[in-house]
């Protein structure tokens, strides 16, 4: 009898066996827990605040009030296409496994490495953002601490955050499920508390006209806040706010082998985490914009937003309330960092299980608690190494910025979304031959999948443009410290993958490796 014919198997283990794997990971996650990890990784308390300044100087209030819902709709379409895929193939390999199944080993190899690089980078980015907000929180309550600010201090906090995330992930998968459940309610209650604070504490609020029509162009790309350049170059740069915030929802796929009723639970987890985050994030962001205080001249102080949310909070709320808001956000970002570590380690485990990562036998081992502890440690170490450029201080207007680190966060978005695009396109190419799972889009895939791929390509191109005019090599005020390094990093990653594939990997990498017997053939 084939292993997959074992009558003792439940439906989840049976489906996993059909895909070639035994139930090694502990399947202790509920459908809500699966949703919770993506909701935690998206983390409106993280992305909405850490990238607020980008949208502010690249468009201003209109770049938030209009761009957020518009981009969110397209991301939700991406989510629907991925929900259909995870329902058909609920395995920890997720994105990579889908691409291998639908496009062969080469497609799987490229997808897997783009996804893995993106996941490790987003773990680094979220952890560093958390460290920054912890530092901001303490600085808000202590003037002496604020006076000694340095990027080295922030980096030390970042390493501690990574260490906490790693240790918590090593204990057990069930502990992570519990933490993600708690994280959901922290994000809901925390976001609600911040909304109430922003509504009732400030002495004044801006008008609807200001929030939905005010335009700002501080990028240096032209001097106008109108015209084609503004609407088709400047504002799209602000898309990073939405695209970076609502990412990481592929975690539902990476944790599907640990989820009960995965074909339905993981599928719902993807699109529901996107939808609820989009709505909650929009409310939160609008409240921040409404709370922008007036300057000494009685007009809205538009200079505050370019420095992120902290200057707005301090000016509008005062130190105590601002510190409270920053503390709530920092705690939410810590939950987010822990969830990112979980997702990254599961992808590392799954990719190693199929022999694609150097030292695969080591990283695919499970601990006594049935978690990939060694993969967790690998992700933590690589994330720390990737973030070393953040120690390089670049002085801009008297403030030390970790400019080189921005490449890490940019490549996180590019790596993840480009890895999504490959299986989404391949599913569309398979058409009616694709064997759908319990949750599917029906015939709507015919327009959803091309729209999803087009959105990813268009936004990726915008995210690789110079953020400010000084980063444009053809500009008179060009300086290397202002360069957007994401296209350089992306090209380096793609060249590295291509060389490795052509020189070596194509000779031994055959895609997902079955670890149990194939199903018995029907007579």
d(CA 337, CA 248): 11
Q: What is the pLDDT of residue 197?
A: 96
Burial of 438 (0-12, 13-18, 19+ CB in 10 A): middle
The encoded tokens of residue 520 equal 């018995």
Over residues 428-434, mean pLDDT? 93
Cα angle at 393 between 388 and 397, to 5 degrees? 150
Tens-digit pLDDT profile for residues 87-103 = 988 877 678 888 988 99
Percent pLDDT > 90 in the chain is 38
Q: What is the pLDDT of residue 25?
A: 65
Bigger pLDDT: 252 or 81?
Answer: 81
Given phi > 0 = left and psi -120 to 50 = alpha, else beta, which region is 168? Answer: alpha
The encoded tokens of residue 116 equal 């893995």
Over residues 411-420, mean pLDDT? 89
Of 80, 155, 91, give the one whose Cα is nearest residue 391.
Answer: 155
Q: Report residue 69's pLDDT band, with 50, 70 and 90 as the boundaries.
A: very high
Bigger pLDDT: 325 or 88?
Answer: 325
d(CA 141, CA 324): 10
Tens-digit pLDDT profile for residues 107-163 = 999 999 998 989 898 899 899 989 999 999 999 988 889 888 888 899 999 999 999
Domains, the chain, ranges and CATH? 36-455 (1.20.1740.10)
d(CA 88, CA 424): 13
Of 30, 330, 342, give the one whose Cα is nearest residue 187.
Answer: 330
Asked if 254 and 86 count as a contact pair (C-beta separation under 8 A), the reply is no
Asked if 187 and 42 count as a contact pair (C-beta separation under 8 A), the reply is no
Of 61, 108, 117, give the one whose Cα is nearest residue 426.
Answer: 108
Q: Which residues in 467-501 are b (16+ Cβ under 10 Å) and which e?
A: bbbbbbeeeeeeeeebbbbbbebbeebeeebeeeb
Please state the pTM of the whole predicted model: 0.86
Asked if 29 and 282 count as a contact pair (C-beta separation under 8 A), the reply is no
Residue 118: phi and psi, rounded to 5, are -60, -40
Asked if 439 and 462 count as a contact pair (C-beta separation under 8 A), the reply is no
Mean pLDDT score of the chain: 84
Q: Report residue 7's pLDDT band, with 50, 70 and 90 as the boundaries.
A: very low
Tell me: pLDDT of 398 over 70: no
Tell me: pLDDT of 483 over 90: no
301, β-bridge pairs: none
Residue whose entry in the numeric block shows the structure tokens 């827990």: 33
């Amino acid at each position: 009898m084939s292993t997959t014919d074992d009558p003792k198997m439940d439906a989840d283990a049976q489906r996993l066996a059909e895909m070639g794997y035994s139930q090694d990971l502990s399947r202790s996650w509920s459908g809500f827990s699966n949703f919770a990890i993506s909701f935690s990784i998206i983390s409106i308390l993280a992305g909405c605040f850490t990238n607020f300044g980008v949208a502010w100087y690249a468009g201003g209030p209109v770049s938030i009030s209009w761009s957020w819902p518009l981009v969110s709709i397209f991301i939700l379409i991406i989510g629907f296409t991925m929900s259909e895929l995870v329902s058909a193939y609920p395995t920890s390999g997720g994105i990579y496994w889908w691409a291998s199944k639908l496009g062969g080993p080469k497609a799987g190899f490229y997808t897997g490495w783009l996804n893995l690089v993106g996941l490790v980078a987003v773990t680094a980015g979220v952890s560093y953002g958390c460290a920054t907000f912890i530092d901001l929180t303490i600085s808000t309550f202590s003037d002496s601490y604020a006076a000694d600010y340095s990027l080295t201090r922030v980096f030390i906090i970042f390493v501690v955050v990574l260490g906490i995330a790693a240790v918590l992930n090593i204990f057990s998968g069930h502990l992570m499920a519990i933490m993600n459940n708690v994280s959901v309610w922290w994000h809901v209650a925390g976001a609600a508390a911040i909304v109430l604070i922003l509504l009732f504490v400030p002495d004044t609020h801006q008008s609807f006209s200001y929030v939905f029509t005010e335009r700002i162009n501080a990028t240096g790309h032209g001097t106008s806040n109108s015209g084609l350049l503004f609407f088709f170059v400047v504002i799209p740069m602000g898309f990073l706010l939405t695209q970076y915030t609502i990412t990481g929802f592929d975690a539902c796929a990476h944790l599907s082998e640990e989820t009960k009723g995965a074909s339905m639970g993981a599928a719902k987890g993807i699109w529901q985490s996107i939808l609820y985050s989009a709505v909650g994030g929009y409310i939160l962001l609008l409240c921040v914009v409404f709370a922008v205080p007036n300057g000494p001249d009685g007009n809205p102080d538009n200079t505050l937003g370019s420095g992120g949310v902290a200057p707005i909070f301090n000016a509008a709320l005062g130190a105590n309330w601002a510190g409270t808001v920053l503390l709530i956000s920092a705690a939410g970002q810590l939950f987010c960092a822990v969830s990112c570590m979980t997702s990254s380690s599961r992808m590392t485990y799954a990719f190693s299980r199929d022999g694609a990562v150097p030292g695969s036998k080591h990283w695919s081992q499970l601990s006594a608690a049935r978690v990939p502890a060694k993969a967790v440690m690998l992700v933590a170490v690589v994330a720390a190494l990737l973030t070393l450029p953040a120690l390089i201080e670049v002085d801009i207007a008297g403030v030390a910025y970790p400019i080189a680190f921005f490449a890490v966060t940019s490549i996180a978005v590019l790596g993840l979304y480009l890895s999504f695009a490959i299986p989404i396109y391949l599913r569309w190419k398979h058409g009616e031959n694709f064997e759908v799972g319990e949750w599917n889009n029906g015939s709507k895939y015919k327009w959803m999948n091309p729209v999803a791929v087009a959105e990813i390509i268009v936004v990726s191109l915008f995210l690789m443009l110079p953020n400010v005019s000084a980063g444009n090599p053809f500009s008179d005020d060009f300086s290397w410290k202002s360069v957007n390094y994401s296209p350089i990093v992306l090209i380096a990653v793609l060249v590295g993958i291509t060389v490795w594939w052509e020189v070596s990997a194509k000779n031994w990498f055959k895609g997902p490796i079955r670890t149990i017997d194939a199903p018995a053939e029907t007579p």
